[in-house]
Structure formats: C-alpha cells, structure tokens
C-alpha cells in the first residue's frame, strides 16, 4: 500500500515542534504530494517553528471544505523515533497523532483526483505547532476558517471509529501573590504570608470544579516562600481550567478574576495572567445533520463521541464552521513511546473520506 510507505517516510523524520528543520522537511514532502494533485501552496513562513501551509484547490459554487491537520509531533530527537510495523499495527511518533491522519486525507484526495481528474472547493491546512497549543497558528486558523462551510479534522478516530463532535475548552492561567517577608520567629506578626493566601485561593479555585457537567479547575503547580524561618513574601499558582459549555467559560473567568482580586489574608495583593488557549467545541445541530447525511450517502454507520482533550477543531468550531473531528486512523499510546495505529482503520477511514469527498465533488453540497 503506497500510503503506508508515504507514512513511513514522514514518520522517520523527527518533527518535534521545536525542531523547525524537521517539521519543514515533512512539510516539503507533503507539499510535493499535494502539488501532484494540482493544489496550490501558500506557505506562512516562521523563524523559530515550522512553516504553516495552506493547500488550495480551484473554487466553484457550492460548499467549501477545509481539511485540517498538523505536521508536528511531541518527542525531541533521540527520544522516540522511526517507523515499524507488524501484521496489525504501525508504530512510531505521529502514526495516529497525526501524521497518520494527514495521510488519510491525502490518500482520499488522491482517490478523488484519480476518479474525477480534478478537485474543487477543498483546501487543506497543515500547521506546525498544534502539540504546543497552536499559540502561533491559532489566529491564522481562526482567520482562514471563515472561508469555509465545513471542516473535517484528522486527529485519531475513537476505538470504534467514532468521530468527535465535542471537545472541552481549555485555558491556562497564573496567579502571582505578593505578601511581606519577615522573620518567622522574631517578627511573625509583621509578615504577610503569601503562601497562606495561596492556600485560600487554592481551595476557592478547586470549588469551581463541577464534574457533573465536565468542568475541571486544576492548580497543578504552587511555588512560594524563601525558607522555614521567613514569612513568605510571594507565591505563584499555575492552573488549568477545562469546560464543555460556553456558559461555563464565562462563569470560570468571572470567578477567576474574583478570586484573584479578593485578599483572604489582609495585605496581600495578586495579579492574574493567562488566556483561553482553545475555546470549547460544543456538539450542535449542524454537526448532527451532517452526520446523518453522510450516513445516508456513504451507507457507513458513524458513531460519535466527546473528548476532554483539545485540538485545532476547537479553533475552527469557535468560528461557527460545522466541524467534525476524529477522521484519522484509530490508535493509542499517543504522546508516549508506545504510540501505534491500527492498519485496518486506515482502510476504513480512507474509504469513508473518499466517499464523502466524491459526493461533495459531484453535488458541491451535502
């Protein structure tokens, strides 16, 4: 199977997000393959990370589709590298997250091109920094998303080949607290304990968690103080929040500001920094209607699921684009040295996406 040889070629290139040369090498190979299908390439060049590439097909009337993926992976050189396989599985960094997904998209487009001799109204966007939060690419993705009606994202499929209709929003924030240092033995009462203030804030932040609706607030790191004999003059809380509804985002941000500005220990002051990295992807009517249409013309049953993890699907969905994720192969062990993808799932996903895109090419709608 040619596409597995293609996958092997790009897996054997280290494309750790901070390895610009490696990510760009993968990008160059992908560009060659897309150009063979008459896609035009627009490269958004970057100095410290890999370039982001938009592959565009000619436009006509009808629905415009974006296929979305990323070229970067999580392990630096020498940590986890190289492609291998057995009868059932392929192994290596990115086989499911998400070079494998990129290959599914590529092969489906090859199938369409072979049958029709052309491709219209389908573009592909591959970014280079998804694994570190898409800090550079997310503004670009948001801007480009407005040009499309539908987006398919090629992160890994679920265990039963589910597609993803919902992903939590995620934000990372830092609260810095100022107190006043003093000798813990001689002038205890003169001090203002920033660590004590941090403990009160920690309790209040934890109260914001609501597992029944999928909201979590996690203070993952606390720093503070000088030593056992000094009242702590400063402390820092590093926290992450995740949520499944826009209303929860608003509640959390309001509460976060309130907790930051409230002094539970008299005399302390605190400042808040951070941002929502990716907004929530909520399941909606347009997704479910599209899934039903796909079932009807492909005659393939599509199961769905929601995930706590985020992807660039969050970014596109937040722009009002009908977005479905999980069109890559099924795999597991992603972000570990045991990452693998099921060979049979490549065939199934390529078949599905080929049918979807052929239908679109014939009717220019769903």
Residues 6+ away with beta carbon under 8 Å from 112: 119, 354, 357, 358, 361
Cβ(123)–Cβ(152) below 8 Å: no
Burial class (CB in 10 A: 0-12, 13-18, 19+), 150: buried
Residue 194, pLDDT score: 98
| Tally of residues, the chain | 366
Q: Over the chain, what is the mean pLDDT?
A: 97
| DSSP line for 143-156 | HHHTT-SEEEE-SP
Span 209-216, mean pLDDT?
Answer: 96
How does pLDDT run across 70-97, given as a tens digit for each residue?
999 999 999 999 999 999 999 999 999 9
Q: Are residues 228 and 285 in the same domain?
A: no
pLDDT of residue 58: 97
179: enclosing H helix or E strand: none
Cβ distance 41 to 34 under 8 Å? yes
Pairing of strands 89-91, 216-224: unpaired
The answer, yes or no, to whether residue 1 has pLDDT greater than 90, is no
Whole-prediction pTM:
0.91
Give me the CATH number covering residue 197.
Answer: 3.30.70.360
Identify the domain boundary among 278, 298, 327.
278
User: Which of residues 278, 308, 334 is at a domain's end?
Assistant: 278
Last residue of a domain, which of 257, 278, 299? 278
For 168-196, write each residue's pLDDT tens digit.
999 999 999 999 999 999 999 999 999 99
> pLDDT > 70: what percent of the chain?
100
DSSP 51: P
- One domain, residues 100 and 185: no
Measured CA to CA in angstroms, residue 202 lies from 97, 221, 222, 236, 321 at distances of 34, 10, 9, 11, 37
- Give per-residue pLDDT as tens, 238-273: 999 999 999 999 999 999 999 999 999 999 999 999
Domain that holds residue 264: 169-278
Residues 267 and 308 grouped into a single domain: no
**Domain shared by 84 and 48, yes or no:** yes
The tens digit of pLDDT for each residue in 147-165 reads 999 999 999 999 999 999 9
Same domain, 47 and 87: yes
* Separation of alpha carbons 115 and 303, rounded Å: 28
Closest CA to 46 of 131, 127, 132, 145: 127
Q: Average pLDDT in the 20-28 region? A: 98
pLDDT tens by residue, 305-348: 999 999 999 999 999 999 999 999 999 999 999 999 999 999 99
SS3 111: helix
Q: Which of 62, 253, 49, 217 is nearest to 138 (CA)?
A: 49
The verdict on 15 and 144 lying in the same domain is yes
Q: Do both 113 and 64 map to the same domain?
A: yes
pLDDT at 297 over 90: yes
CA atoms within 13 A on the CB side of 9: 15
* Predicted pLDDT of residue 130: 97
User: Tell me, what CATH number does 107's domain have?
Assistant: 3.40.630.10
Give the SS3 label for residue 317: helix
């Amino acid at each position: 199977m040619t596409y597995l040889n293609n996958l092997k070629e790009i897996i054997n290139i280290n494309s750790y997000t901070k390895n610009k040369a490696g990510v760009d090498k993968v990008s160059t190979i992908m560009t060659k393959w897309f150009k063979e299908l008459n896609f035009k390439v627009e490269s958004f060049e970057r100095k410290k990370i890999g370039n982001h590439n938009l592959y565009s097909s000619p436009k006509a009337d009808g629905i415009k589709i974006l296929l979305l993926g990323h070229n970067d992976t999580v392990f630096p050189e020498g940590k986890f590298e190289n492609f291998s396989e057995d009868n059932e599985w392929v192994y290596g960094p990115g086989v499911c997250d998400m070079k494998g997904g990129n290959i599914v998209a590529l092969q489906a487009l090859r199938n369409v091109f072979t049958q029709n001799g052309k491709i219209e109204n389908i573009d592909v966007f591959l970014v280079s920094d998804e694994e570190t939060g898409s800090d550079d690419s997310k503004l670009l993705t948001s801007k480009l998303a407005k040009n499309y009606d539908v987006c398919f994202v090629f992160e890994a499929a679920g265990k039963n080949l589910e597609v993803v209709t919902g992903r939590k929003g995620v934000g990372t924030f830092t609260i810095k607290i100022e107190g006043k240092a003093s000798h813990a033995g001689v002038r205890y009462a003169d001090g203002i304990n920033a660590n004590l203030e941090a403990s009160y804030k920690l309790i209040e932040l934890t109260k914001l968690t609501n597992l029944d609706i999928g909201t979590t607030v996690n203070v993952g790191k606390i720093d503070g103080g000088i030593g056992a004999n000094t009242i702590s003059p400063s402390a820092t809380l590093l926290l992450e929040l995740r949520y499944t509804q826009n209303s929860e985002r608003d509640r959390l941000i309001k509460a976060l500001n309130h907790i930051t500005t409230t002094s539970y220990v008299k005399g302390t002051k605190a400042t808040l920094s951070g941002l929502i990295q990716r907004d929530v992807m909520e399941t909606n009517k347009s997704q479910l209607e599209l899934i039903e249409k796909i079932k009807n013309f492909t005659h393939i049953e599509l199961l769905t699921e929601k995930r706590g993890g985020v992807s660039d699907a969050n970014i596109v969905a937040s722009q009002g684009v009908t977005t479905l994720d999980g069109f890559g192969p099924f795999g597991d062990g992603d972000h570990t040295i045991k990452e693998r993808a099921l060979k049979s799932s490549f065939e199934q996903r390529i078949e599905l996406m080929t049918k979807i895109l052929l239908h679109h090419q014939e009717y220019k709608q769903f």
